């Protein structure tokens, strides 16, 4: 995020987590890992959750697009605005205030196969904001190149048609990796890509966690997980879920 608005606590936590890390890249896209893990669990995908409401006894009722299910506990593993929408009937004012205050940066991604004759190894490149490039990163994984465009470029180009975005991003990638990919590719838009950890975000989260603990002590089996609770990374999303809890996870 903008260094003038960034949380110092977030920077120090990220620095401490990564200073001894070993650089590496996945041999296949991360989605394959998620699919492999999900195959071992009782997971239902492609189902829209409309809301969570009080059920019978101490449980909750999850209203889906096509059915309603009962749950002993629910974890809202979704972006803050979605958590506010889905859990609104069960939230208190302090929780609504915090969830409404979480700001996000947008992203647009473009993925395309790497040419068969391109001699490239799996790698991931992070790109400094100070330059003119619209990209936050470019990755080569599993024979696919994926470019991630960040704000303000992503927001300013959000209304462009997919073919125009693909052409624009492919041209930028061509300048970085000449001859590596052909045209076309798949464009995806993420209006809530990265939660912004602005100054004061961790203080607000501490208050949020205190309210959540109070509601849990009072018998409300609704919990939260997501990168906005820890760090704007995959690791942050995973570590945001505290051990020892079980429940239906909506993510």
**Phi, psi at 208, each rounded to 5°:** -65, -45
For residue 131, how many other CB atoms are within 10 A of its CB? Answer: 8
Gap between the Cα atoms of 119 and 158, Å rounded: 33
Give the pLDDT of residue 244.
40
Helix ranges (H only) for 39-106 are 80-86, 93-101
More confident residue, 250 or 140: 140
**Phi, psi at 90, each rounded to 5°:** -110, -5
32-47 mean pLDDT: 81
Gap between the Cα atoms of 120 and 180, Å rounded: 8
Tokens of 25: 């890249």
Give the pLDDT of residue 15.
67
Q: Which residues pair with 104 in a beta bridge?
A: 195
Give the sign of the dihedral formed by CA 246, CA 248, CA 250, CA 251.
positive
243 pLDDT above the threshold of 50: no
Q: Percentage of the chain with pLDDT > 90? A: 43
Tokens of 208: 């949020």
Give the pLDDT of residue 79.
94
Summarised one tens digit per residue, pLDDT across range 146-180 is 999 999 999 999 999 999 999 999 998 888 888 88
Q: What is the pTM of this model?
A: 0.77
Q: What is the mean pLDDT of the chain?
A: 84
Summarised one tens digit per residue, pLDDT across range 40-52 is 888 777 788 899 9
């Amino acid at each position: 995020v903008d260094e003038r608005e960034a949380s110092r606590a977030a920077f120090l936590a990220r620095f401490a987590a990564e200073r001894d890390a070993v650089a590496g890249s996945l041999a296949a896209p991360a989605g394959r890992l998620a699919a492999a893990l999900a195959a071992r669990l009782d997971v239902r995908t492609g189902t829209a959750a409309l809301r969570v409401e009080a059920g019978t006894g101490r449980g909750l009722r999850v209203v889906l697009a096509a059915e309603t299910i009962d749950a002993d506990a629910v974890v809202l593993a979704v972006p803050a605005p979605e958590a506010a929408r889905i859990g609104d009937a069960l939230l208190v004012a302090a929780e609504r205030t915090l969830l409404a205050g979480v700001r996000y940066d947008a992203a647009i991604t473009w993925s395309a196969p790497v040419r068969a004759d391109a001699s490239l190894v799996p790698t991931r490149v992070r790109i400094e904001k100070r330059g003119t490039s619209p990209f936050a990163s470019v990755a080569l994984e599993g024979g696919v190149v994926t470019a991630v465009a960040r704000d303000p470029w992503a927001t300013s180009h959000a209304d462009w048609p997919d073919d125009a975005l693909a052409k624009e991003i492919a041209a930028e990638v061509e300048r970085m990796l000449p001859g590596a990919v052909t045209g076309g590719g798949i464009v995806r838009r993420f209006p809530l890509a990265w939660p912004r950890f602005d100054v004061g975000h961790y203080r607000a989260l501490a208050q949020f966690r205190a309210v959540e603990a109070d509601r849990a002590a009072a018998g409300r089996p609704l919990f939260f997980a997501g990168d906005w609770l820890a760090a704007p990374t995959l690791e942050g999303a995973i570590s945001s879920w505290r051990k020892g809890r079980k429940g239906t996870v909506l993510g």
